[in-house]
Amino acid sequence: MKSSAGRLSLWLLLTPFVLWIVLLVLVPHLQMLRVSFQVRESWDTIAWGVQQYQNFFIESYYWRTFVRTGVMSLFTTFLTLLIAFPIAWYIAKMARGRSKGILFMACLIPFWASELVRTYGWMILLRESGLFSSWLQALGWVDGPVEMLYNDVAVIIGLVYNGLLFMVVPLVTTLDGMDENLVEAGYDLGGGHATVLREIVVPWAMPGIVSGCIVVFMLTLGSYLTPVLMGGKDSAWFTEQIFTQFITRFNWEQGAALGVLLLVLSSVMVWLGLTLSGQSLRKVMG
């Protein structure tokens, strides 16, 4: 009786989960993979082939953007880690009492606004008629308006801004749990700042670092608004090309192939990050 009731409740609880994961994640992604191997011969006949993937390698524009997006995402992730670490360290280990909570909350404030609003804010600051340009002119440092938007630096400023929260929070969480005696012991045993950081702090914070890096990398790689609105003519982002294929050209087969490629890139990077740092997805995400 007990075991049959237990089995019934297991099935009752398992069904919604299975429906969600199968209908919204697994089946759509398998279908995307299938469509990416379809070649449209005429309006109603379809053959199988790898033409879409060939296009990707033949058209240098595709794979150049692909590589560029990957490299810039990696760079952004690394920069975000460098910027966020001292902040997280201060919040976790140096601030006390009220100021700790207040500083932590202050880190969350930008995320009360959507990515669109944040990007818009940067546009108001950086563009030719923007605030920085006006201030520089008022100070007399430049003669005419300066355009600081529509280049790679602007894109990276915006992307780092979008990623910071997702780096600071996991770092603070892991650093908070670190026993300060470990750091003191490191110094007592004659270690310098660099040694203590390398041998004690970084290994301890590794789950937080990996978790932050994975999330920031994913967000950056998949971002659309920031590169489109803040980037220049030649700073294309891979998501833009997926968007163009689906919405503008209505070429689903090519779009699906590009989508699969982006998914492969992000999965490989996540897997590499986990393997190289010896972490598991469950530990860093769950």
Where does the chain show beta strands of DSSP type E? 38-40, 46-48
Helix (H/G/I), strand (E/B), else coil: 45:
coil
Binding to other proteins in span 143-172, by CB under 8 A: 161, 164
* Contact pick of 8, 47, 187, 195 for other proteins (by CB under 8 A): 187
Question: What part of residues 48-77 is at the interface with other proteins (CB under 8 A)?
Answer: none
39 binds other proteins (CB under 8 A): no
Say if residues 235 and 152 touch (Cβ distance below 8 Å): yes
In this chain, which of 8, 9, 58, 82 binds other proteins, going by CB under 8 A?
9
Residue 195 to residue 192: CA distance in whole angstroms: 5
By the rule CB under 8 A, 183 interacts with other proteins: yes
Q: In the range 210-269, which residues lie near other proteins by CB under 8 A?
A: 214-215, 218, 221-225, 229, 239, 242-243, 246-247, 252, 255-256, 259, 262-263, 266-267
29 or 64: CB nearest other proteins: 29
Exposed (0-12), middle (13-18) or buried (19+): which is 203, by Cβ within 10 Å?
A: exposed
- 103-132: which residues touch other proteins (CB under 8 A)? 103, 106-110, 112-118, 120-125, 127, 129-131
**Applying CB under 8 A, does 282 fall inside the site for other proteins?**
yes
Pick from 231, 66, 70, 61: which is nearest to 156 by CA?
231
Please, how many CA atoms are within 13 Å of residue 54, restricted to the half-sphere of its CB? 6
